[in-house]
Amino acid sequence: MTFLLTLLAAILVLGPLVALHEWGHFIVARLCGVKVLTYSIGFGPKLAGWRSKKSGIDYRISALPLGGYVKMLDEREGEVAADELHLAFNRQHPLKKIAIVAAGPIMNFVIAIFLFWVLFMTPSEQLSTNIGEVLPDTPAAIAQLPVGDKVVAIDGHDVQTWEAINYRLAGRMGETGNINVTVMGQSGSDTQTFQAPISDFMQHNNGKDALSSFGVLPWQPTIEPIIGGLSEGGAAERQGLKVGDRITSINGNKIDDWISATRIIRDNPEALLTFDVMRDGKPVRLEVMPQGKKDTMGNAYGQIGAMVEASEIVVPDAYKTTVVYDPAAALVQSFKKTEQLAVMTVDSMGKMISGMIGLENLSGPITIAKVAKQSFEISWQTVLSTAALISLSLAVLNLLPIPVLDGGHMVYYLIELIRGRPVSENAQMVGLNIGLLLLAGFMVLAIGNDISRLF
């Protein structure tokens, strides 16, 4: 059932993105006077479809859901009747060819901008960017960032949400130097910029997000570290913890709140921990080994199967903010966010190639499907955000100058525009084979990473 739900979520998120990408190629090809033969979602054997009586176009859904294609009339792929030569793709001006090939990635950019625009226009109450906690032995602790002050900029870029802070910090992954953090005092007037030193930042982050790696966390409620429930068969129940136990320390670390306890537990999967608890007014010491689990990205974390009693959490007004933009401002923000994430994606690829960050950060279709499923479990806003991020990634990846991708074809047609004649078929075939080899290598690596995250 989990597999089917994951597959369905992937189809619901990826299907429209692939369909619209190919529709970009399709509609521009027709506007440029090129005859389209086939519009397919997926590759391989045809599963379903129909042929238009008016245009003769074969619309189909194919068996392998790893993309799609638009097949156009082309003398390189078969004989073309003399009266249809003007409709063949290969006979078109290079600028028309470039427009047709670029239309798919451009459509993905448009989708990302539109989805971000919708999200920016949706009012959302969020935690303000006031620092709730600074973790020890982190860049934020070394810089002595003041708890309670509000983060207003990272490296000179204004930030209004913790998500924006997280993206700015993630953009420095693998780097060495200083991260400049500008904060506003609690009086709401003066600002001060701190320099936080980083060295190979997040190169080996062991599953930590950018905020935790940097060492700043939002405000979090103080929850008493008292066990309110136990999962049947969980490590906590099996190894002696009981409902009502108050955790006082773990491995000698004093515990004052539930979040401190869960942080230690999550960071120590399959490690034997010493729990000191108060039970009926008496101290009790137990050895508990958190069960090893894996998140969507395959990062290991610990879990003992204990929970607190449900209680209402009241967020202080000082730590709340409502984020909303009017349509014009939202559109500006969506363009800015699309630009930022596109640059960050290209930058991350360069860092992987140079070794600044590990290739284990590369994800394939299995991880994408799991993330899609997880987004449906959270909220519709998360679904739209996930779809926007995937659409943006598809746009950037397809524009890479690798011959088998749209970007590689655009290079050929740009050369044709400059030289006045097409690149020779032999040269194109050599490029195609190299492109297929590179793409196959990336796919093997990405799927290998996906499988390693599963097991």
Rounded CA gap, 68 and 444, in Å? Answer: 20
Tokens found for residue 311: 């209680």
Beta-carbon count within 10 A of 436 CB: 13
Q: Which of 350, 391, 385 is nearest to 173 (CA)?
A: 350
Which ranges of 123-199 does DSSP label H, i.e. alpha helix?
139-142, 162-170
Residue 377 CB contacts under 8 Å (≥ 6 apart), including other chains: none
Cα distances from 143 to residues 134, 159, 177, in angstroms, run: 10, 19, 13
Task: Give 292's Cβ-side CA count (13 Å radius).
Answer: 10
Tokens found for residue 30: 């027709």
The secondary structure element, H or E, covering residue 350 is helix 327-354
DSSP 307-340: EPPP------GGGEEEE---HHHHHHHHHHHHHH
**Are the C-beta atoms of residues 198 and 172 closer than 8 Å to each other?**
yes
Cα distances from 186 to residues 88, 257, 402, in angstroms, run: 66, 25, 51
3-state helix, strand, coil in the chain (%, to 5): 45, 20, 30
Is 22 assigned a catalytic role?
A: yes
The secondary structure element, H or E, covering residue 26 is helix 2-31
- Residues composing the chain: 455
Beta-carbon count within 10 A of 429 CB: 11
Phi–psi pair at 193, nearest 5 degrees: -110, 130
Rounded CA gap, 171 and 165, in Å? Answer: 10
Query: Torsion angle of alpha carbons 247, 248, 251, 254, nearest 10°?
Result: 130
Residue that the structure tokens 């966010």 belong to:
337
Q: Which amino acid is at 78?
A: G
Give the residue numbers marked as catalytic.
22
